[in-house]
Amino acid sequence: MRRFILAGLTLGLLFLVACGAVAEMVDGNVYERVHRRLVSMEGFSAQATVTYVSNNNTHVYETIQHALATGQYRIEVTSPENVAGNTTIFDGTTISQFNPNVGGTVSQANQEAPERLEILLTSFVRNFITSNEVTVTASTMDESLTTVLETTIPGEHPYISTARLWMCNDSLNPLRMVIFDQSGAERIIVVYNTFEHNPQLPANLFQVGSDTSPNEEDE
Protein backbone atom coordinates (compact mmCIF):
# COMPACT_ATOMS: atom_id res chain seq x y z
CA MET A 1 0.00 0.00 0.00
CA ARG A 2 2.86 2.40 0.78
CA ARG A 3 4.37 1.70 -2.62
CA PHE A 4 0.96 2.44 -4.13
CA ILE A 5 0.84 5.81 -2.34
CA LEU A 6 4.41 6.77 -3.20
CA ALA A 7 3.89 5.86 -6.85
CA GLY A 8 0.77 7.99 -6.91
CA LEU A 9 2.52 10.99 -5.40
CA THR A 10 5.39 10.67 -7.85
CA LEU A 11 3.04 10.44 -10.81
CA GLY A 12 1.14 13.42 -9.49
CA LEU A 13 4.26 15.57 -9.35
CA LEU A 14 5.25 14.48 -12.84
CA PHE A 15 1.76 15.33 -14.01
CA LEU A 16 2.00 18.86 -12.65
CA VAL A 17 5.30 19.40 -14.43
CA ALA A 18 4.31 17.76 -17.72
CA CYS A 19 0.84 19.30 -17.94
CA GLY A 20 1.53 22.81 -16.76
CA ALA A 21 -0.96 24.34 -19.18
CA VAL A 22 -3.79 22.34 -17.66
CA ALA A 23 -2.54 22.57 -14.08
CA GLU A 24 -2.52 26.38 -14.26
CA MET A 25 -6.33 26.22 -14.35
CA VAL A 26 -6.33 24.66 -10.87
CA ASP A 27 -5.00 26.04 -7.62
CA GLY A 28 -1.83 24.04 -7.04
CA ASN A 29 -2.42 23.76 -3.28
CA VAL A 30 -5.96 22.52 -3.82
CA TYR A 31 -4.85 19.94 -6.38
CA GLU A 32 -2.15 18.68 -4.01
CA ARG A 33 -4.73 18.23 -1.23
CA VAL A 34 -7.14 16.44 -3.56
CA HIS A 35 -4.39 14.24 -4.96
CA ARG A 36 -3.08 13.29 -1.53
CA ARG A 37 -6.61 12.51 -0.41
CA LEU A 38 -7.11 10.08 -3.28
CA VAL A 39 -3.79 8.28 -3.17
CA SER A 40 -3.94 7.91 0.63
CA MET A 41 -7.29 6.14 0.33
CA GLU A 42 -7.03 2.64 1.76
CA GLY A 43 -10.78 2.16 1.49
CA PHE A 44 -14.15 3.86 1.46
CA SER A 45 -17.83 3.46 2.28
CA ALA A 46 -20.53 5.31 0.38
CA GLN A 47 -24.21 5.53 -0.37
CA ALA A 48 -24.39 6.30 -4.06
CA THR A 49 -27.00 6.65 -6.77
CA VAL A 50 -25.84 4.86 -9.91
CA THR A 51 -27.48 5.56 -13.27
CA TYR A 52 -26.83 3.37 -16.30
CA VAL A 53 -27.67 4.94 -19.66
CA SER A 54 -28.12 2.67 -22.68
CA ASN A 55 -29.20 3.56 -26.19
CA ASN A 56 -32.83 2.84 -25.32
CA ASN A 57 -33.24 2.96 -21.54
CA THR A 58 -32.03 4.52 -18.31
CA HIS A 59 -31.83 2.47 -15.11
CA VAL A 60 -31.28 4.05 -11.69
CA TYR A 61 -30.10 2.13 -8.63
CA GLU A 62 -29.46 3.13 -5.03
CA THR A 63 -26.37 1.36 -3.73
CA ILE A 64 -24.25 0.91 -0.63
CA GLN A 65 -20.60 0.49 -1.55
CA HIS A 66 -17.59 -0.61 0.50
CA ALA A 67 -14.19 -1.15 -1.09
CA LEU A 68 -10.50 -1.47 -0.27
CA ALA A 69 -7.56 -0.26 -2.31
CA THR A 70 -6.32 -3.85 -2.30
CA GLY A 71 -9.28 -4.83 -4.50
CA GLN A 72 -11.95 -6.28 -2.23
CA TYR A 73 -15.40 -4.74 -2.52
CA ARG A 74 -19.03 -5.15 -1.55
CA ILE A 75 -21.89 -3.53 -3.50
CA GLU A 76 -25.46 -3.85 -2.25
CA VAL A 77 -28.44 -2.57 -4.23
CA THR A 78 -31.11 -1.04 -2.00
CA SER A 79 -33.58 0.06 -4.70
CA PRO A 80 -35.60 -0.33 -6.86
CA GLU A 81 -37.59 -2.83 -4.86
CA ASN A 82 -37.41 -5.65 -7.39
CA VAL A 83 -33.62 -5.88 -7.02
CA ALA A 84 -33.21 -4.63 -3.45
CA GLY A 85 -30.82 -6.80 -1.47
CA ASN A 86 -28.84 -7.98 -4.47
CA THR A 87 -25.24 -7.98 -3.28
CA THR A 88 -21.97 -8.54 -5.12
CA ILE A 89 -18.83 -9.34 -3.12
CA PHE A 90 -15.24 -9.72 -4.23
CA ASP A 91 -13.07 -11.19 -1.49
CA GLY A 92 -9.83 -10.77 -3.40
CA THR A 93 -10.17 -14.08 -5.21
CA THR A 94 -13.79 -14.85 -6.05
CA ILE A 95 -16.73 -12.74 -7.20
CA SER A 96 -19.96 -13.86 -5.49
CA GLN A 97 -23.47 -12.57 -6.13
CA PHE A 98 -26.27 -12.97 -3.60
CA ASN A 99 -29.91 -12.72 -4.71
CA PRO A 100 -32.44 -12.74 -1.83
CA ASN A 101 -35.35 -12.87 -4.27
CA VAL A 102 -34.38 -16.33 -5.51
CA GLY A 103 -34.16 -18.16 -2.21
CA GLY A 104 -30.94 -16.44 -1.22
CA THR A 105 -29.07 -17.92 -4.15
CA VAL A 106 -25.33 -17.31 -4.28
CA SER A 107 -23.61 -17.55 -7.65
CA GLN A 108 -19.94 -17.12 -8.48
CA ALA A 109 -18.29 -15.52 -11.48
CA ASN A 110 -14.78 -15.92 -12.84
CA GLN A 111 -14.70 -12.70 -14.85
CA GLU A 112 -15.22 -9.15 -13.57
CA ALA A 113 -17.83 -6.94 -15.23
CA PRO A 114 -16.40 -3.51 -16.07
CA GLU A 115 -19.89 -2.01 -15.72
CA ARG A 116 -19.71 -2.90 -12.01
CA LEU A 117 -16.02 -2.55 -11.22
CA GLU A 118 -15.65 0.95 -12.68
CA ILE A 119 -18.37 2.47 -10.47
CA LEU A 120 -15.99 2.06 -7.51
CA LEU A 121 -13.85 5.05 -6.56
CA THR A 122 -10.91 2.71 -5.93
CA SER A 123 -11.00 1.80 -9.64
CA PHE A 124 -10.90 5.46 -10.65
CA VAL A 125 -7.90 6.10 -8.39
CA ARG A 126 -6.04 3.12 -9.80
CA ASN A 127 -6.72 4.25 -13.37
CA PHE A 128 -5.79 7.85 -12.61
CA ILE A 129 -2.38 7.15 -11.12
CA THR A 130 -1.40 4.64 -13.81
CA SER A 131 -2.77 6.34 -16.92
CA ASN A 132 -0.64 8.46 -19.25
CA GLU A 133 -3.74 10.40 -20.31
CA VAL A 134 -5.13 12.51 -17.47
CA THR A 135 -6.46 16.06 -17.17
CA VAL A 136 -7.28 18.29 -14.21
CA THR A 137 -9.57 21.32 -14.34
CA ALA A 138 -11.60 23.49 -11.96
CA SER A 139 -15.37 23.69 -11.89
CA THR A 140 -18.41 24.50 -9.72
CA MET A 141 -21.09 21.99 -8.77
CA ASP A 142 -24.10 22.83 -6.61
CA GLU A 143 -22.33 26.02 -5.51
CA SER A 144 -19.28 24.02 -4.38
CA LEU A 145 -15.87 24.64 -5.89
CA THR A 146 -14.55 21.39 -7.29
CA THR A 147 -11.45 19.89 -8.82
CA VAL A 148 -12.31 17.75 -11.84
CA LEU A 149 -10.05 14.84 -12.70
CA GLU A 150 -10.36 12.81 -15.88
CA THR A 151 -8.60 9.62 -16.89
CA THR A 152 -8.79 6.89 -19.46
CA ILE A 153 -10.03 3.41 -18.57
CA PRO A 154 -7.90 0.52 -19.86
CA GLY A 155 -9.41 -1.96 -22.28
CA GLU A 156 -11.41 -1.66 -25.46
CA HIS A 157 -14.92 -1.66 -23.99
CA PRO A 158 -17.08 0.41 -26.40
CA TYR A 159 -19.18 1.90 -23.59
CA ILE A 160 -16.50 2.38 -20.92
CA SER A 161 -13.69 4.55 -22.19
CA THR A 162 -12.99 7.51 -19.88
CA ALA A 163 -14.00 8.59 -16.37
CA ARG A 164 -14.43 12.05 -14.89
CA LEU A 165 -14.54 12.73 -11.14
CA TRP A 166 -15.68 15.88 -9.33
CA MET A 167 -14.00 16.35 -5.93
CA CYS A 168 -15.22 18.99 -3.46
CA ASN A 169 -12.37 21.38 -2.64
CA ASP A 170 -13.61 21.88 0.93
CA SER A 171 -14.54 18.39 2.13
CA LEU A 172 -12.18 16.60 -0.28
CA ASN A 173 -14.96 14.07 -0.85
CA PRO A 174 -16.19 12.94 -4.26
CA LEU A 175 -19.46 14.47 -5.43
CA ARG A 176 -20.01 12.84 -8.80
CA MET A 177 -18.32 10.50 -11.26
CA VAL A 178 -19.27 10.01 -14.90
CA ILE A 179 -18.07 7.26 -17.22
CA PHE A 180 -18.15 8.02 -20.94
CA ASP A 181 -18.16 5.75 -23.96
CA GLN A 182 -15.75 6.00 -26.88
CA SER A 183 -17.92 8.66 -28.56
CA GLY A 184 -17.99 10.84 -25.43
CA ALA A 185 -21.57 10.05 -24.39
CA GLU A 186 -22.42 9.58 -20.70
CA ARG A 187 -23.01 5.91 -19.91
CA ILE A 188 -22.69 5.57 -16.13
CA ILE A 189 -23.32 8.34 -13.60
CA VAL A 190 -22.44 7.93 -9.92
CA VAL A 191 -23.69 10.53 -7.43
CA TYR A 192 -22.26 10.25 -3.93
CA ASN A 193 -24.96 10.90 -1.32
CA THR A 194 -22.68 10.02 1.60
CA PHE A 195 -18.97 9.19 1.65
CA GLU A 196 -16.51 8.02 4.29
CA HIS A 197 -12.77 8.04 3.66
CA ASN A 198 -10.74 5.17 5.16
CA PRO A 199 -13.46 3.73 7.43
CA GLN A 200 -12.80 0.85 9.79
CA LEU A 201 -14.30 -2.06 7.86
CA PRO A 202 -14.74 -5.47 9.55
CA ALA A 203 -12.70 -8.19 7.87
CA ASN A 204 -15.72 -10.42 7.25
CA LEU A 205 -17.59 -7.69 5.36
CA PHE A 206 -16.14 -9.12 2.16
CA GLN A 207 -17.28 -12.66 2.86
CA VAL A 208 -20.47 -14.20 1.50
CA GLY A 209 -23.20 -14.40 4.09
CA SER A 210 -21.87 -11.58 6.24
CA ASP A 211 -24.41 -9.02 7.40
CA THR A 212 -21.94 -7.24 9.67
CA SER A 213 -22.32 -3.49 9.79
CA PRO A 214 -19.20 -1.52 8.84
CA ASN A 215 -19.65 0.38 12.09
CA GLU A 216 -19.29 -2.73 14.18
CA GLU A 217 -15.83 -3.61 15.42
CA ASP A 218 -14.32 -7.03 15.01
CA GLU A 219 -14.50 -9.15 18.10
Q: For the segment 150-181, what is each residue's pLDDT rounded down to a tens digit?
A: 999 999 899 999 999 999 999 999 999 999 99
Phi then psi for 206, rounded to 5 degrees?
-100, 30
Q: For the segment 42-52, what is each residue's pLDDT rounded down to a tens digit?
A: 999 999 999 99
- Is the pTM higher than 0.75? The answer reads yes
- What is the reported pLDDT for 211? 63
Res 6 pLDDT > 70 = no
**SS3 for 167?**
strand
Establish if 178 belongs to a structural domain: yes
- What is the reported pLDDT for 27? 79
CA distance 53 to 100: 26
Phi then psi for 66, rounded to 5 degrees?
-135, 135
Establish if 212 belongs to a structural domain: no
**Domain carrying residue 124:** 2-206
Establish if 152 belongs to a structural domain: yes
Res 210 pLDDT > 80 = no
Establish if 106 belongs to a structural domain: yes
Q: Are 30 and 38 in contact (CB under 8 A)?
A: no
Establish if 95 belongs to a structural domain: yes
Establish if 60 belongs to a structural domain: yes
CA distances from 204 to 89, 120, 153, 199 (A): 11, 19, 30, 14
Please tell me the total count of domains within the chain: 1
In which band, very low, low, confident or very high, does the pLDDT at 144 lie, cut at 50, 70 and 90? confident
Percent of the chain with pLDDT over 70: 84
Res 8 pLDDT > 80 = no
Establish if 155 belongs to a structural domain: yes
Looking up residue 201, the CATH number of its domain turns out to be 2.50.20.10
Q: For the segment 74-109, what is each residue's pLDDT rounded down to a tens digit?
A: 999 999 999 999 999 999 999 999 988 887 778 887
Establish if 214 belongs to a structural domain: no
